[in-house]
Chain A
């Protein structure tokens, strides 16, 4: 240990850490990476839709046909006679000002449709990830602590099965069991038709509570359970496996031995000292499930007729509503990027080594 410095210049090292600059730098670097990714996605969304065979206007007018002069007029009006880069620039400009186009079918702004359906998907995804974490985390910890035991093999076997599950079939099985045979849960939708709740937030659980209607709340909850379990199955499997391997690694660390040497209860050694460290990689993996959830929502919402963006996207595809599709993928990708950024932030908060690097 160096003696305390006596004269000026040597005494620069501060006696306590300043948390902000490294964390801020970390965040800015992460945020900086988001910009090119976002631009790339707009390019992707722009050109993917161009790949659709046929002229956008001809696709729109369908089989009615159109006069060549009118076609040229429309093409000019929509900027389709402009060079491609100009069209993209216009598109990007629109997107940045919040204009994601207009649905061919409903004539509504894509952003409005998206925003009106998004809460349903978020509610479903949040319930799914909650289920996955609440079950998966303890299961993974238990498997790690009882490594090689029957419990471990069971947890790992089940989670690999869950990971291999075709969730569209899994959903059907659960409907068959719980809705058709047992009659415990409804088959589809978010709320029984008996109830009407003013959409304040778009989250059915919250809206029913705001309306003070406990029966409606219960109905909303019953509607939510099965889809959430189905959507949460794969994240659950991933989280359980990741937690187990992270815990196994951490449990072999020296500081766990130190904690035991302090005479702490095993519960505290595992639940605090080990888990706190194992959570760092696990949280990252939980964050990565955002994509899985939004992708899985396409299937889950279709099976359960859940009125969210997954079902909306499938319907848009079936109706050849390309502007809706284009806006939808851009908005979903943006959501995923945002969630990943948030997870990075959380990662920084959880990991002191990043929060304030030396």
Chain B
């Protein structure tokens, strides 16, 4: 015997039929110019990432010995063939940055998915069951949070061994506590509300209560956190790459590109400039979007 939760006022909104919440959300979101700009930039980067093999003018790995450390087109000695110049072994920087977008978006996607899945489970279980389970999970999370997150990521990456996938894994592990805490708080806020009790009384099992009844009502902070999680993931993975613990050369990962160009800082600043700009712009776009989503989704901040 299970009742339709949608019939309960305050229960999860049916997104398919009346589009009101979505319309309202868009109304609030649109007013935040920064967030809209962030979204636009993300869409552009995502498109570039998907189309990278077709729009990149060169193969990111092909070295052209005839064009080593060529400056960008607007400098003396630059050419339209290498718009942003070339690196120390004659690879096209623009193409590498474009392919780097692929990796960074992938890193964001995988890290957020992994950490969200684990954090969601931990937080849900912790908030829903409480008691010893809750205490145990929360202790574990406290312990992880006592470590500076980059340090923990560095250590985990060091132990797992360098590589892009291991870097993603370590970044994902490091951010799990944030999701778990957030979900737990949201679940605790919802679990004692009348609609949950009604559903429980109606005979819904724990799994249904957690996933169908409660979860949709915790979505707002989750969406915001996931968006901001993209920026953290991209930033941390790039930092690991920079320290030599992430993607390994010649992979065109932005952080790795920076690390391998350090020694040309004086002679060829453009080698250093563009991967960094790419990281900054991408991370900034996700942060702008996350801020905008928070303002649009969080009724407490609506004024």
State which size class the interface on A falls in: 35 or more
Count contacts on B: residues with CB < 8 A to the other chain: 46
* Interchain CB contact under 8 A, A166 and B148: no
Within 8 A of A (CB), among B278-303: 279-280, 283-284, 286-288, 291
Hey, which chain B residues are within 8 Å of A157, CB to CB?
A: 34
* Interchain CB contact under 8 A, A318 and B244: yes
Hey, which chain B residues are within 8 Å of A336, CB to CB?
A: 146-148
Partner of B272, one of A160, A169, A292, A340: A169
CA distance A298 to B154 in the complex (A): 9
* Interchain CB contact under 8 A, B146 and A333: yes
Closest A residue to B155 by beta carbon equals A329
Hey, which chain B residues are within 8 Å of A49, CB to CB?
A: 159
Residue A285, interface by CB 8 Å: no
CA distance A41 to B255 in the complex (A): 29
Given contacts A298-B243, A325-B155, are A172 and B150 in contact (CB under 8 A)?
Answer: no
* Interchain CB contact under 8 A, A40 and B279: no
Stretch at the interface among A89-97, A173-181, A205-213, A265-273: A173-181
Hey, which chain A residues are within 8 Å of B287, CB to CB?
A: 160, 163-164
Residue A105, interface by CB 8 Å: no
CA distance A34 to B148 in the complex (A): 16
- What does the 1/0 interface line of A23-47 toward B look like (CB < 8 Å)? 0000000000100110011011000
Chain B facing A: main interface SS: helix
Hey, which chain B residues are within 8 Å of A176, CB to CB?
A: 265-266, 269, 272
* Interchain CB contact under 8 A, B262 and A172: yes
Rounded to whole Å, the gap between the CB of A50 and the closest CB of chain B is 9
Partner of B235, one of A40, A166, A294, A298: A166
Rounded to whole Å, the gap between the CB of A232 and the closest CB of chain B is 15
- What does the 1/0 interface line of A322-358 toward B look like (CB < 8 Å)? 0001000100110011001000000000000000000
List the 3 closest pairs (A to B, CB-CB), nearest first: A169-B276, A295-B148, A295-B150
- Which residues of B come within 8 Å of A, CB atoms? 34, 139-140, 142-152, 154-156, 158-159, 161, 231, 235, 238-239, 242-245, 255, 258, 262, 265-266, 269, 272-273, 275-276, 279-280, 283-284, 286-288, 291
